[in-house]
Amino acid sequence: MDLKLDHHTKDGIEVVDVEGEIDVYTAPRLRELLIELVNSGHYQLVVNMEKVEFLDSTGLGVLVGGLKRVRAHDGSLDLVCTQERILKIFRITGLTKVFGIHDTVDEAITVRKSEK
Amino acid sequence: MSFTPLPVHVRTARLVATAVARRSGVQEALLDEVRLAVGEACSRAVEAHRAHCPTEPVRIELTGTRGRFEVVVTDAAARDDDGALDHESDSSAAPGSGSDNGYPGADGSLDDPEALLPQGLGLAVIAGLADDVKISRTAAGLSIRMSWPSGDYTG
């Protein structure tokens, strides 16, 4: 399955919905969207990965790049993911310590707002 | 088999590898690991070829013998940027074990957002996924050999 991207604003936070496979072929599209959002002033991001079927290190690089970009503006990039197959790659690479990873979009937003 | 080093072909390569692994008797629970590890190896090879020899195809071998399903991904891009993992790998080589998670810029100290992850991350992911991994450098390039237990014994 190819990559589908969408985004909407919820409680002042930009939620990016990702569906499909994030790999060396599709990751550039996610990178472009994250850059576009940051350039348009969205510094609080939640990336919803509940419908992601595949993620490799190229995708991780894009997410970490997005995190770096929002942090440059004192922003945040949190993830929503409960799929073990996706969480495994975050654990292998130690990135569970870098990202906030939540079970639901609402939880991610609530936690982020409580930390502001 | 071999394929033109284009990112779009990596998905096909990992799907074929997963299908062959299934038919070779690899347990369903391991197929996700096969798919991800093969994808990482092919992605790495494609990037290397695109940088150094874009007209040369990437080679991938899929074999199931003696109770093991083995995948070998070989590139033809001679270079020297995978030195940190230029040895028989084990999962302890994966980044993330250090106090700073092993990622340059994780503390926000780098200016280039795209330079945040260490070179060789894909190899580290493979080391964390495959049951057995051997990475060797040939005169032409890098060869990644990985294997998993399979149900078939045809050797």
Q: What is the pLDDT of residue B107?
A: 41
Question: What topology is assigned to B2-108+115-149 in CATH?
Answer: Heat Shock Protein 90 (3.30.565)
% of chain A at pLDDT higher than 70? 98
Mean pLDDT over all residues of chain A? 95
Q: What is the pLDDT of residues B92-139, one digit of tens each?
A: 333 333 333 333 333 444 444 555 556 678 888 998 888 799 999 888
A53 contacts B35 by C-beta, under 8 angstroms: no
| CB neighbours of residue B145 within 10 Å | 18
- B33 and B129 Cβ atoms separated by less than 8 Å: yes
Supply the pLDDT for residue B117.
Answer: 59
Whether A77 and A112 have beta carbons less than 8 Å apart is answered as: no
- Average confidence (pLDDT) over A44-69: 96
The mean per-residue pLDDT over the stretch A89-100 comes to 93
Q: Is the pLDDT of residue A80 over 90?
A: yes
Question: How many residues does this entry show for chain B?
Answer: 155
Interface test with A, best of B103, B107, B119, B126 (most A CBs within 10 A): B103
In terms of DSSP bridges, do strands A44-55 and A76-80 run parallel, antiparallel, or are they unpaired? parallel
Q: Which of residues 102-141 of B touch A (CB under 8 A)?
A: 102-103, 105-106, 108, 110, 113-114, 116-117, 121-122, 124-125, 128-129
pLDDT value for B123: 86
Res B81: pLDDT: 52
Helix then strand then coil, % of chain A, to nearest 5? 45, 30, 25
Listed by start position, the domains of chain B span 2-108+115-149
Residue B88 has a pLDDT of 39
- What's the pLDDT score for residue B99? 34
Please state which of the ranges A58-62, A99-103, B80-84 shows the lowest mean pLDDT.
B80-84
Inspect the interface and report whether the beta carbons of A93 and B97 lie closer than 8 Å: no
Task: Measure CB to CB from residue B116 to each of A21, A54, A68 and give the nearest one.
Answer: A68
Strand partners, A78: A46
Query: What average pLDDT score do residues A31-53 get?
Result: 97
Q: Which of B8, B44, B46, B114 to mutate to test the interface with A (most CBs of A within 10 A)?
A: B114
Question: CATH fold of A4-111, please?
Answer: Transcription Regulator spoIIAA (3.30.750)
B74: three-class secondary structure by DSSP: strand
Report the chain A residue with the minimal C-alpha distance to residue B130. Answer: A92
Tokens of A1: 């399955």
What is chain B's mean pLDDT, rounded? 78
Q: Measured between alpha carbons, how far is A29 from B7 in angstroms, rounded to an integer?
A: 13
Q: Where are the alpha helices (DSSP H) in A16-104?
A: 27-39, 57-71, 84-93
CB contact under 8 A, A25 and B8: yes
Span of A39-43, A47-51, B79-83 with lowest mean pLDDT = B79-83
Indicate yes or no: CB of B121 within 8 angstroms of CB of A69: no
Residue B14, pLDDT > 70, answer: yes
Question: Per-residue pLDDT for A98 more than 50?
Answer: yes
Residue B48 contacts A, CB cutoff 8 Å: no
Provide the residue type at B62 as one letter.
Answer: L
Whether residue B43 and residue A57 make contact (CB cut-off 8 A), yes or no, is yes
Q: Given this model, what pLDDT does residue A46 score?
A: 98
Is the CB of B96 inside 8 Å of chain A's CB atoms?
Answer: yes
Nearest neighbour of B96 by CB, restricted to A23, A85, A95: A95
Contact B86/A at CB under 8 A: no
**More confident: B117 or B47:** B47
Strand order, beta sheet including B132-137: B2-3, B58-65, B68-74, B142-149, B132-137
One-letter amino acid at B61 equals E
Contact B94 A85 (CB under 8 A): no
pLDDT score recorded for residue B152: 59
Cα gap A23→B125, rounded to integer Å: 14
